[in-house]
Amino acid sequence: MTKGSIPRLLLSFSIPLYFGNLFQQLYSMVDTIVVGRFVGVEALAAVGSTSGFSFMVVGFAQGLAAGFSVIISQRYGAKDMDAMRKAYAMSMIGSVLMSILIAVFCCMMSLPFLRVINTPDNIIDNANSYISIIYAGIATAVFYNLFSSILRAVGDSRSPLAFLLISSILNIVLDLFFVIVIPLGCSGVAIATVIAQGVSAAISYIYIARRFPMFRLRKEDWRFDPNLLARLMKIGIPGAVQFSVCAIGVIIVQAAINDFGSDTVAAYSVGVKIENLITQFFPAIGMGLSTFAGQNLGAGFFRRIRKGFRSAFIIMAVGAVASMILARLLAVPFSYLFMDSSTAPEEITAEIVQYVDTVAWFFIPLGMIFIYRTGCQGLGSGIIPMFSSVTELVFRIIAAFTLPIAFGYTGLCFASPAAWVAAGFALPFCYFYQIRKLEQKSSLGI
């Protein structure tokens, strides 16, 4: 990415990531769609009310796996295959230990957590059944993300997408089986998710062993190395915590939503799903910019980095306008993916449309978060992304518990936009500070 047309490079790198993100969102939406259409609105609300808890744990798994893959990638790049296999083995041991700790703690605390956020009584049992099964099977998510991160670390970005597609199809089939054939309701879709992730993790492991012989572990690779495990955790846990900080904001907003009752919980959950589906281009272009910035920083091409950020902003802005139009056009048809149009209450559909229409006007500040937060990560900053995450969290909490007092559900719809505006418009100033500091260090030969 140090040569050639910047917009073309950013788009060619980001488009495959976009489709991967899209499949990931579709994967997470299937549970909600199946229970909403075949079980009912209360089941839809039950699954939707756990989205923050699911995001927290699965995001923790993603961050942990990405951190573990850093050392594996470094040792692969150094052609030190013995050390790489050792890191691979210790990553799996660390994944097992963290999976057990997360599963035990979260399963014990799932019901108290749901009560703390005032989950409505008519959906709390179904919500607890669903999220407890997801927690119990967290190892499948951890290992799928670990193996996917390792494949990307050695330059294979297509195979994880293929395995995700297989897992998504299997999840749909199993969801329908466990809801229609064996009517297990919310528990059924959770079981389907865990099985599908487990199959995907197993396929990924087998593929790595067969496609990359240097990853075939030997007996000595499994010898416990506490120092190496500590290094892996030192890199993996901060990334995992950053995901969790964002999830905490989602959970706290969920507490405010729960006070409005199960119908509004269902409407808000569907609205967020539609928002996430339509805005997946933003994290993709952000990841593209991060890679671009990192490579050009290594080459010392600061002027090209600045051009890259400008190009990414323009691409993002065009995408934001297109996404806004798409969101407003598709809000109603998309809402009926989750509910039977002949039986869905009009009030729920109206609240879904209101949420989507509201947030769509703020897609540019949302895009700015992904551009500048992820771009600054590519420039080597850990503080700026963390500052942005905390800012977003604080403003989301303030908005969720103040705006509804004056404006009801309308105020609730503005909770996320308020957080995006606060974090999004602060980040460019942070970026300019970061790039100037790097240019000054470079000019001084530091």
Q: Round to whole Å and give the CA distance between 11 and 33.
A: 31
- Our CA angle for 264, 414, 276, nearest 5°, is 75
Q: Round to whole Å and give the CA distance between 402 and 291.
A: 39
In three-state form (DSSP H/G/I as H, E/B as E, the rest C), the secondary structure along 348-378 is HHHHHHHHHHHHHCCHHHHHHHHHHHHHHHH
- Packing angle between helix 41-48 and helix 121-136, nearest 10 degrees? 50
Count CB atoms within 10 A of the CB of residue 340.
12
Which whole-number Å values give the CA distances from 106 to 43, 135, 185, 223, in the listed order? 21, 6, 21, 30
What do you get for the CA distance between the two ends of the chain, in Å? 24
Count CB atoms within 10 A of the CB of residue 437.
12
User: Residue 341: its pLDDT value, please?
Assistant: 65
Q: Round to whole Å and give the CA distance between 310 and 114.
A: 43
For residue 431, what are its two tokens? Answer: 């970026």
Question: Which residue carries 């980095």 as its tokens?
Answer: 305
For the entire predicted model, the pTM comes to 0.75
- Enter the DSSP assignment of 118: T
Number of H-type helices and E-type strands within the chain:
18, 0
Q: Round to whole Å and give the CA distance between 19 and 280.
A: 8
User: Residue 349: its pLDDT value, please?
Assistant: 87
Instruction: Look up residue 363 and give its amino acid.
Output: F
pLDDT beneath 70: ranges in the chain:
27-28, 66-67, 70, 73-74, 77-78, 152-155, 157, 235, 238-239, 242-243, 340-344, 382, 445-446
User: Residue 70: its pLDDT value, please?
Assistant: 65
Q: Round to whole Å and give the CA distance between 244 and 418.
A: 20
Please say whether the beta carbons of 328 and 357 come within 8 A.
yes
Question: In sequence order, what are the residues at sequence separation of 6 or more whose Cβ sits closer than 8 angstroms to the Cβ of residue 220?
Answer: none
Q: Round to whole Å and give the CA distance between 63 and 46.
A: 26
> Around 290, how many Cα atoms within 13 Å sit in the side-chain half-sphere?
21
Q: Round to whole Å and give the CA distance between 4 and 15.
A: 17
Question: Which residue carries 């950020």 as its tokens?
Answer: 309
pLDDT one-digit tens code per residue, 236-249: 776 677 667 777 77
Question: Which residue carries 């969720």 as its tokens?
Answer: 400
Which whole-number Å values give the CA distances from 326 to 21, 331, 356, in the listed order? 18, 8, 10
Helix spans in 212-301 (H):
226-258, 262-278, 281-299
